[in-house]
Amino acid sequence: QVQAVESGGGLVQPGGSLRLSCAASGSIFSISAMGWYRQVPGKEREFIAAHTINDNTYYAASVQGRFTISRDNAKMTLYLHMNNLKPEDTAVYYCNNLGTYDTGVFYPKGSWGQGTQVTVSS
């Protein structure tokens, strides 16, 4: 239903900022909740942030106050603005459309893309 390509990752120093983009395709983008996940080798994907069709946002405790999720329906693009980056933020970041178990509780519905690598190191 929604296919996405992530971009914007790279190498950044601790305390730095980075903006990730998720270029989506599919007519349901504007009526679908969208979110970001991240994954490091050997670990499961971790939920990072969600943006609902009602313009509500939700964040994992580990990134709350540092990351901001937003979307542009006209451009069919999802963004993740990351500030005050920490070494533990190093991971491959993925976007996906979301379903919900309950208010503020989400699960990924689409296929996973290649993601974009974010490396935070001094």
Cα–Cα dist 86/112, whole Å = 25
pLDDT value at position 29? 82
Cα–Cα dist 27/41, whole Å = 33
Report H helices in the chain. Answer: none
Residue 119 has pLDDT above 90, yes or no: yes
pLDDT value at position 62? 97
DSSP state of 32: S
Q: Are 3 and 110 contacting, i.e. CB atoms less than 8 angstroms apart?
A: yes
Give pLDDT tens digits for 48-64.
999 999 899 999 999 99
Give pLDDT tens digits for 1-37.
567 899 999 999 999 999 999 998 877 788 889 999 9
Give pLDDT tens digits for 31-45.
889 999 999 999 999
Angle ∠(113,114,120) on CA atoms, nearest 5: 125
pLDDT value at position 28? 75
Give pLDDT tens digits for 64-113.
999 999 999 889 999 999 999 999 999 999 999 999 988 889 999 988 99
